[in-house]
Homo-oligomer: A and B are copies of this chain.
Amino acid sequence: MAISRRTFVAAAASALAARGQQTGGRKIGYCIIGLGRISMNEFMPGVLKSDKCRITGLVSGHRDKAERVAKQYNVPETSIYTYEDFDKRMTSNSDVDAVYVALPNSMHAEYTVRSARAGKHVLCEKPMAVSVAECKQMIGAANAANRKLLIAYRCQYEPNYLKAIQAIRNGEIGKIELIDASFGFNIGQNEWRTDKKLSGGGPLMDVGIYCLQACRLMSGEEPAEVDGRSAVIDHDGRFETVEENLVWSMRFPSGLLTTCNTSFGTNTGGWFRVYGSKGKVEMEPAYSYDGLKLSINGKDATVEDHNPLQFTREGDHLADCIVDNKQPKSSGEEGLRDIRILMAVYQSCREKKAISL
Protein backbone atom coordinates (compact mmCIF):
# COMPACT_ATOMS: atom_id res chain seq x y z
CA MET A 1 0.00 0.00 0.00
CA ALA A 2 1.42 3.36 -1.03
CA ILE A 3 1.31 5.99 1.69
CA SER A 4 1.79 9.70 1.10
CA ARG A 5 4.15 11.71 3.25
CA ARG A 6 1.22 13.73 4.58
CA THR A 7 -0.71 10.58 5.57
CA PHE A 8 2.43 9.15 7.18
CA VAL A 9 3.11 12.31 9.20
CA ALA A 10 -0.51 12.45 10.31
CA ALA A 11 -0.41 8.77 11.35
CA ALA A 12 2.82 9.25 13.27
CA ALA A 13 1.43 12.30 15.05
CA SER A 14 -1.68 10.35 15.90
CA ALA A 15 0.37 7.45 17.30
CA LEU A 16 2.40 9.85 19.40
CA ALA A 17 -0.81 11.43 20.64
CA ALA A 18 -2.16 7.98 21.53
CA ARG A 19 1.03 7.20 23.43
CA GLY A 20 0.68 10.52 25.20
CA GLN A 21 -2.91 9.75 26.11
CA GLN A 22 -2.20 6.33 27.49
CA THR A 23 1.04 7.05 29.29
CA GLY A 24 0.56 10.66 30.14
CA GLY A 25 3.28 11.72 27.73
CA ARG A 26 5.93 9.84 29.66
CA LYS A 27 8.02 6.73 29.17
CA ILE A 28 6.59 3.34 30.11
CA GLY A 29 7.75 2.57 33.66
CA TYR A 30 9.12 -0.85 34.58
CA CYS A 31 9.33 -2.25 38.09
CA ILE A 32 12.16 -4.79 38.22
CA ILE A 33 11.32 -7.95 40.18
CA GLY A 34 14.58 -9.60 41.18
CA LEU A 35 17.93 -7.81 41.16
CA GLY A 36 20.08 -10.63 39.80
CA ARG A 37 22.60 -10.73 36.98
CA ILE A 38 20.19 -10.52 34.09
CA SER A 39 18.36 -7.52 35.57
CA MET A 40 21.42 -5.64 36.77
CA ASN A 41 23.81 -6.41 33.92
CA GLU A 42 21.47 -6.64 30.95
CA PHE A 43 17.87 -5.50 31.20
CA MET A 44 18.29 -2.33 33.26
CA PRO A 45 21.24 -1.01 31.21
CA GLY A 46 19.11 -1.82 28.15
CA VAL A 47 16.25 0.31 29.48
CA LEU A 48 18.70 3.17 30.08
CA LYS A 49 19.31 3.24 26.32
CA SER A 50 15.59 3.33 25.51
CA ASP A 51 13.55 6.42 24.75
CA LYS A 52 10.34 4.49 25.37
CA CYS A 53 10.98 3.00 28.82
CA ARG A 54 12.43 3.79 32.21
CA ILE A 55 12.90 2.06 35.56
CA THR A 56 10.32 3.21 38.09
CA GLY A 57 10.28 0.52 40.78
CA LEU A 58 12.32 -2.29 42.31
CA VAL A 59 11.38 -5.49 44.12
CA SER A 60 14.15 -7.08 46.16
CA GLY A 61 14.76 -9.04 49.33
CA HIS A 62 17.82 -6.89 50.06
CA ARG A 63 16.85 -3.34 51.02
CA ASP A 64 20.45 -2.04 51.04
CA LYS A 65 21.15 -3.32 47.56
CA ALA A 66 17.79 -2.00 46.33
CA GLU A 67 18.53 1.49 47.72
CA ARG A 68 21.87 1.61 45.93
CA VAL A 69 20.27 0.54 42.65
CA ALA A 70 17.37 2.97 43.17
CA LYS A 71 19.80 5.91 43.41
CA GLN A 72 21.53 4.79 40.23
CA TYR A 73 18.26 4.67 38.26
CA ASN A 74 16.51 7.61 39.98
CA VAL A 75 13.85 5.35 41.47
CA PRO A 76 12.16 6.97 44.52
CA GLU A 77 12.73 5.07 47.77
CA THR A 78 8.95 4.77 48.12
CA SER A 79 8.97 2.62 44.98
CA ILE A 80 11.22 -0.06 46.51
CA TYR A 81 9.11 -3.07 47.42
CA THR A 82 9.54 -6.44 49.09
CA TYR A 83 8.45 -9.78 47.64
CA GLU A 84 5.71 -9.89 50.26
CA ASP A 85 4.05 -6.54 49.67
CA PHE A 86 4.99 -5.46 46.14
CA ASP A 87 1.64 -6.22 44.51
CA LYS A 88 -0.47 -4.54 47.20
CA ARG A 89 1.65 -1.39 47.29
CA MET A 90 2.44 -1.20 43.58
CA THR A 91 -1.21 -1.10 42.47
CA SER A 92 -1.52 2.56 43.31
CA ASN A 93 1.83 3.55 41.79
CA SER A 94 0.87 5.01 38.43
CA ASP A 95 4.55 5.37 37.48
CA VAL A 96 4.75 1.58 37.25
CA ASP A 97 3.10 0.40 34.04
CA ALA A 98 4.78 -2.98 33.80
CA VAL A 99 7.02 -5.38 35.68
CA TYR A 100 10.08 -7.31 34.54
CA VAL A 101 10.06 -10.75 36.18
CA ALA A 102 13.66 -11.94 36.45
CA LEU A 103 13.37 -14.59 39.14
CA PRO A 104 14.16 -18.32 39.13
CA ASN A 105 11.85 -20.16 36.73
CA SER A 106 9.61 -21.73 39.35
CA MET A 107 8.64 -18.22 40.59
CA HIS A 108 7.64 -16.84 37.19
CA ALA A 109 4.03 -17.94 37.49
CA GLU A 110 3.38 -16.55 40.96
CA TYR A 111 4.97 -13.17 40.29
CA THR A 112 3.38 -12.80 36.87
CA VAL A 113 -0.07 -13.60 38.25
CA ARG A 114 0.33 -11.26 41.24
CA SER A 115 1.61 -8.45 39.00
CA ALA A 116 -1.24 -8.82 36.51
CA ARG A 117 -3.75 -8.80 39.37
CA ALA A 118 -2.06 -5.63 40.62
CA GLY A 119 -2.95 -4.11 37.24
CA LYS A 120 0.52 -4.23 35.71
CA HIS A 121 1.68 -5.47 32.31
CA VAL A 122 4.32 -8.22 32.51
CA LEU A 123 7.61 -8.89 30.76
CA CYS A 124 8.61 -12.33 32.06
CA GLU A 125 11.96 -14.02 31.50
CA LYS A 126 12.11 -17.34 29.66
CA PRO A 127 11.39 -20.16 30.21
CA MET A 128 7.87 -18.86 30.86
CA ALA A 129 7.29 -21.30 33.76
CA VAL A 130 8.02 -24.85 34.85
CA SER A 131 4.76 -26.46 33.71
CA VAL A 132 2.06 -26.09 31.09
CA ALA A 133 -0.52 -25.53 33.84
CA GLU A 134 1.44 -22.56 35.20
CA CYS A 135 1.70 -21.03 31.72
CA LYS A 136 -2.07 -21.26 31.36
CA GLN A 137 -2.57 -19.59 34.75
CA MET A 138 -0.29 -16.75 33.69
CA ILE A 139 -2.12 -16.22 30.40
CA GLY A 140 -5.45 -16.38 32.22
CA ALA A 141 -4.39 -13.83 34.82
CA ALA A 142 -3.08 -11.38 32.19
CA ASN A 143 -6.26 -11.75 30.13
CA ALA A 144 -8.53 -11.36 33.17
CA ALA A 145 -6.73 -8.14 34.12
CA ASN A 146 -6.61 -6.98 30.49
CA ARG A 147 -2.84 -6.64 30.78
CA LYS A 148 -0.14 -7.51 28.20
CA LEU A 149 2.16 -10.46 28.80
CA LEU A 150 5.45 -10.68 26.92
CA ILE A 151 7.93 -13.54 27.30
CA ALA A 152 11.51 -12.31 27.06
CA TYR A 153 12.56 -14.02 23.84
CA ARG A 154 15.08 -11.32 23.00
CA CYS A 155 16.23 -13.13 19.84
CA GLN A 156 12.80 -12.61 18.27
CA TYR A 157 13.61 -8.88 18.12
CA GLU A 158 17.24 -9.25 17.06
CA PRO A 159 17.99 -8.01 13.50
CA ASN A 160 20.16 -10.99 12.48
CA TYR A 161 17.30 -13.34 13.35
CA LEU A 162 14.85 -11.23 11.37
CA LYS A 163 17.22 -11.18 8.39
CA ALA A 164 17.80 -14.96 8.56
CA ILE A 165 14.07 -15.66 8.70
CA GLN A 166 13.45 -13.31 5.77
CA ALA A 167 16.18 -14.97 3.68
CA ILE A 168 14.68 -18.40 4.32
CA ARG A 169 11.11 -17.26 3.54
CA ASN A 170 12.44 -15.65 0.34
CA GLY A 171 13.63 -19.09 -0.76
CA GLU A 172 17.32 -18.24 -0.64
CA ILE A 173 18.25 -21.70 0.68
CA GLY A 174 15.44 -23.67 -1.01
CA LYS A 175 13.40 -26.13 1.04
CA ILE A 176 14.55 -26.58 4.62
CA GLU A 177 15.85 -30.14 4.98
CA LEU A 178 17.58 -30.24 8.38
CA ILE A 179 18.36 -27.90 11.28
CA ASP A 180 21.15 -28.35 13.85
CA ALA A 181 21.23 -26.23 17.01
CA SER A 182 23.44 -26.33 20.08
CA PHE A 183 23.78 -24.25 23.25
CA GLY A 184 25.60 -25.25 26.40
CA PHE A 185 28.00 -23.89 28.97
CA ASN A 186 29.94 -25.22 31.93
CA ILE A 187 27.93 -24.19 34.99
CA GLY A 188 29.40 -23.36 38.38
CA GLN A 189 28.60 -24.95 41.73
CA ASN A 190 25.57 -23.85 43.74
CA GLU A 191 23.66 -22.15 40.95
CA TRP A 192 19.86 -21.99 41.31
CA ARG A 193 19.73 -23.27 37.73
CA THR A 194 20.85 -26.71 38.95
CA ASP A 195 18.19 -26.87 41.69
CA LYS A 196 15.12 -28.40 40.07
CA LYS A 197 12.79 -26.86 42.66
CA LEU A 198 13.82 -23.43 41.38
CA SER A 199 14.63 -24.17 37.73
CA GLY A 200 12.17 -26.90 36.79
CA GLY A 201 14.96 -28.61 34.85
CA GLY A 202 18.53 -28.34 33.67
CA PRO A 203 20.13 -26.88 30.55
CA LEU A 204 17.07 -27.68 28.42
CA MET A 205 15.05 -25.10 30.37
CA ASP A 206 17.84 -22.57 30.58
CA VAL A 207 19.70 -22.58 27.25
CA GLY A 208 18.22 -25.47 25.26
CA ILE A 209 15.11 -23.34 24.86
CA TYR A 210 17.13 -21.08 22.53
CA CYS A 211 17.76 -24.04 20.21
CA LEU A 212 14.05 -24.84 20.24
CA GLN A 213 13.28 -21.21 19.37
CA ALA A 214 15.86 -21.27 16.56
CA CYS A 215 14.24 -24.39 15.03
CA ARG A 216 10.71 -22.99 15.34
CA LEU A 217 11.56 -19.46 14.18
CA MET A 218 13.67 -20.51 11.21
CA SER A 219 11.27 -23.21 9.99
CA GLY A 220 8.08 -21.32 10.76
CA GLU A 221 6.61 -24.67 11.79
CA GLU A 222 5.57 -26.34 15.03
CA PRO A 223 7.10 -29.74 15.89
CA ALA A 224 4.84 -32.79 15.58
CA GLU A 225 7.06 -35.23 17.48
CA VAL A 226 10.06 -35.05 19.80
CA ASP A 227 12.64 -37.53 21.01
CA GLY A 228 15.06 -36.81 23.84
CA ARG A 229 17.84 -38.41 25.86
CA SER A 230 19.57 -36.95 28.90
CA ALA A 231 22.65 -37.87 30.89
CA VAL A 232 24.86 -36.92 33.82
CA ILE A 233 28.60 -37.41 33.36
CA ASP A 234 30.09 -35.23 36.11
CA HIS A 235 29.14 -36.52 39.54
CA ASP A 236 30.48 -33.48 41.37
CA GLY A 237 27.35 -32.30 43.14
CA ARG A 238 26.04 -30.03 40.39
CA PHE A 239 23.61 -32.50 38.86
CA GLU A 240 21.76 -34.03 41.77
CA THR A 241 18.33 -32.88 40.57
CA VAL A 242 18.71 -31.84 36.92
CA GLU A 243 20.25 -33.29 33.75
CA GLU A 244 23.77 -32.27 32.73
CA ASN A 245 23.49 -32.94 29.00
CA LEU A 246 20.45 -33.45 26.81
CA VAL A 247 20.06 -34.18 23.12
CA TRP A 248 16.78 -34.18 21.28
CA SER A 249 15.37 -34.38 17.80
CA MET A 250 12.14 -32.99 16.42
CA ARG A 251 10.03 -33.96 13.42
CA PHE A 252 7.99 -31.18 11.81
CA PRO A 253 4.90 -31.58 9.59
CA SER A 254 6.85 -30.75 6.39
CA GLY A 255 9.20 -33.66 7.12
CA LEU A 256 11.89 -31.36 8.48
CA LEU A 257 14.06 -33.08 11.09
CA THR A 258 16.10 -31.16 13.63
CA THR A 259 18.83 -32.18 16.05
CA CYS A 260 19.57 -30.13 19.14
CA ASN A 261 21.82 -30.48 22.14
CA THR A 262 22.25 -28.55 25.34
CA SER A 263 24.61 -28.81 28.27
CA PHE A 264 25.60 -27.51 31.69
CA GLY A 265 28.87 -29.47 31.37
CA THR A 266 30.47 -28.04 28.24
CA ASN A 267 30.61 -24.80 26.31
CA THR A 268 29.26 -25.70 22.86
CA GLY A 269 29.56 -22.14 21.59
CA GLY A 270 25.85 -21.55 20.96
CA TRP A 271 25.01 -21.84 17.25
CA PHE A 272 22.52 -23.10 14.69
CA ARG A 273 22.65 -24.21 11.07
CA VAL A 274 19.67 -24.40 8.75
CA TYR A 275 20.37 -26.69 5.78
CA GLY A 276 18.25 -26.11 2.70
CA SER A 277 18.04 -27.91 -0.62
CA LYS A 278 19.91 -25.00 -2.23
CA GLY A 279 22.02 -23.54 0.58
CA LYS A 280 22.56 -22.90 4.24
CA VAL A 281 21.90 -20.28 6.92
CA GLU A 282 24.32 -20.33 9.85
CA MET A 283 24.46 -18.24 12.99
CA GLU A 284 27.42 -18.56 15.36
CA PRO A 285 27.38 -17.17 17.95
CA ALA A 286 23.61 -17.28 17.80
CA TYR A 287 22.43 -16.70 21.35
CA SER A 288 24.79 -14.25 23.00
CA TYR A 289 23.74 -10.77 24.07
CA ASP A 290 25.66 -9.21 21.19
CA GLY A 291 28.18 -10.04 18.48
CA LEU A 292 25.92 -12.47 16.62
CA LYS A 293 27.34 -13.61 13.29
CA LEU A 294 25.08 -14.57 10.42
CA SER A 295 26.12 -16.37 7.25
CA ILE A 296 23.81 -17.04 4.29
CA ASN A 297 24.96 -19.49 1.62
CA GLY A 298 28.53 -19.26 2.82
CA LYS A 299 28.72 -15.46 2.76
CA ASP A 300 28.87 -13.25 5.81
CA ALA A 301 25.48 -11.55 6.15
CA THR A 302 25.83 -10.17 9.68
CA VAL A 303 23.78 -7.11 10.54
CA GLU A 304 26.37 -4.92 12.19
CA ASP A 305 23.91 -2.64 14.00
CA HIS A 306 23.76 -3.99 17.54
CA ASN A 307 22.32 -0.80 18.94
CA PRO A 308 19.85 -0.67 20.57
CA LEU A 309 20.60 -3.72 22.66
CA GLN A 310 18.46 -6.87 22.45
CA PHE A 311 17.07 -6.09 25.91
CA THR A 312 16.17 -2.56 24.82
CA ARG A 313 14.31 -4.00 21.85
CA GLU A 314 12.20 -6.38 23.94
CA GLY A 315 11.46 -3.71 26.55
CA ASP A 316 10.47 -1.30 23.80
CA HIS A 317 8.26 -3.90 22.13
CA LEU A 318 6.16 -4.29 25.28
CA ALA A 319 6.01 -0.49 25.58
CA ASP A 320 4.72 -0.29 22.01
CA CYS A 321 2.17 -3.02 22.67
CA ILE A 322 0.92 -1.14 25.74
CA VAL A 323 0.65 2.16 23.90
CA ASP A 324 -0.83 0.72 20.72
CA ASN A 325 -2.88 -1.98 22.46
CA LYS A 326 -1.24 -4.76 20.41
CA GLN A 327 -0.63 -8.42 21.27
CA PRO A 328 3.11 -8.92 21.95
CA LYS A 329 4.99 -10.92 19.32
CA SER A 330 6.53 -13.20 21.96
CA SER A 331 3.27 -13.58 23.84
CA GLY A 332 2.24 -15.85 26.69
CA GLU A 333 0.86 -18.27 24.10
CA GLU A 334 4.29 -18.36 22.48
CA GLY A 335 5.91 -19.11 25.85
CA LEU A 336 3.35 -21.85 26.47
CA ARG A 337 4.14 -23.49 23.10
CA ASP A 338 7.78 -23.88 24.11
CA ILE A 339 7.00 -25.21 27.59
CA ARG A 340 4.65 -27.81 26.11
CA ILE A 341 7.45 -28.95 23.78
CA LEU A 342 10.14 -28.94 26.50
CA MET A 343 7.90 -31.00 28.78
CA ALA A 344 7.41 -33.50 25.93
CA VAL A 345 11.20 -33.73 25.53
CA TYR A 346 11.56 -34.53 29.23
CA GLN A 347 8.75 -37.10 28.93
CA SER A 348 10.58 -38.70 26.00
CA CYS A 349 13.79 -38.86 28.08
CA ARG A 350 11.91 -40.63 30.87
CA GLU A 351 9.92 -43.01 28.67
CA LYS A 352 12.65 -43.58 26.03
CA LYS A 353 10.22 -43.21 23.16
CA ALA A 354 8.99 -40.60 20.70
CA ILE A 355 6.32 -38.24 22.05
CA SER A 356 3.73 -36.81 19.67
CA LEU A 357 2.56 -33.26 20.19
Which residues of A are interface residues toward B (Cβ below 8 A)?
175, 177-178, 180, 182, 184, 186, 225, 227, 229-234, 244-249, 251, 254-261, 263, 265-269, 273, 275-277, 280, 352-354
Oligomer copy total: 2
Q: Which of B256, B260, B353 contacts A259, CB < 8 Å?
A: B260
* Shortest beta-carbon distance from A245 to chain B in Å: 5
- CB–CB B255/A232 < 8 A: yes
Cβ–Cβ < 8 Å partners of A354 in chain B: 229, 352-353
In the bound assembly, the distance between CA atoms of A269 and B267 in angstroms comes to: 22
Instruction: Specify the main secondary structure of chain A where it touches its partner.
Output: strand
Is there an interface contact between A178 and B275, defined as CB atoms closer than 8 Å? no
CA distance A225 to B257 in the complex (A): 20
A277 touches B231 (CB 8 A): no
Task: Check B231–A263 contact: CB distance below 8 A.
Answer: no
Contact B275 A266 (CB under 8 A): yes
Q: Which residue from B177, B248, B260, B261 sits with its C-beta under 8 Å from A233? A: B177
Enumerate chain B residues within 8 angstroms of A260, measured Cβ to Cβ. Answer: 259
- What 4 pairs between A and B have smallest CB-CB spacing? A177-B266, A266-B275, A231-B255, A233-B255
Determine the residue in chain B with the shortest Cβ distance to A235.
Answer: B255
Assembled-state Cα–Cα distance A177/B268 (Å): 10
Complex CA distance for A246 and B225, rounded to whole angstroms: 14
Give the docked Cα–Cα distance between A255 and B266 (Å). Answer: 14
Give the contacting residue for A268; candidates B230, B231, B275; CB below 8 A.
B275
Query: Closest residue to A260 on the B side, CB-wise?
Result: B259
Q: Which residues on B sit within 8 Å (CB–CB) of A277?
A: 186, 233-234, 265-266
- A352–B247 Cα gap in the complex (Å)? 16
Instruction: List residues of chain B with CB within 8 A of the CB of A247.
Output: 178, 249, 257-259
Write out the residue numbers on chain B whose beta carbons fall within 8 Å of the beta carbon of A255. 231-233, 244-245
Task: Please measure, in the bound complex, the distance between the C-alpha atom of A275 and the C-alpha atom of B293, giving whole angstroms.
Answer: 21
| Contact pick for A244, options B177, B249, B258, CB 8 Å | B177
Chain B residue contacts of A231, Cβ below 8 A: 251, 255-257
Contacts of A233 in B (CB 8 A): 175, 177, 254-256, 277
Tell me which residues across on chain B come within 8 A of A225, comparing CB atoms: 229
Instruction: Report the minimum CB–CB distance from A172 to chain B (whole Å).
Output: 14
Q: Which residues of B contact A258 (CB under 8 A)?
A: 247
How distant is A217 from chain B, measured CB to nearest CB, in Å? Answer: 19
Contacts A255-B231, A277-B186 given; indicate if A178 touches B249 (C-beta within 8 A).
no
- Listed residue (A251, A255, A258, A269) with the most chain B CB atoms within 10 angstroms of its CB: A255
Q: Which of A186, A257, A258, A263 has the most CB of B within 10 A?
A: A257
Q: Does A261 contact B175, Cβ atoms closer than 8 Å? A: no
Enumerate chain B residues within 8 angstroms of A177, measured Cβ to Cβ: 184, 233, 244-245, 263, 265-266
Contact A180 B178 (CB under 8 A): no
A178 adjacent to B263 (CB under 8 Å): yes
Question: CA–CA, A248 to B227, complex, Å?
Answer: 10
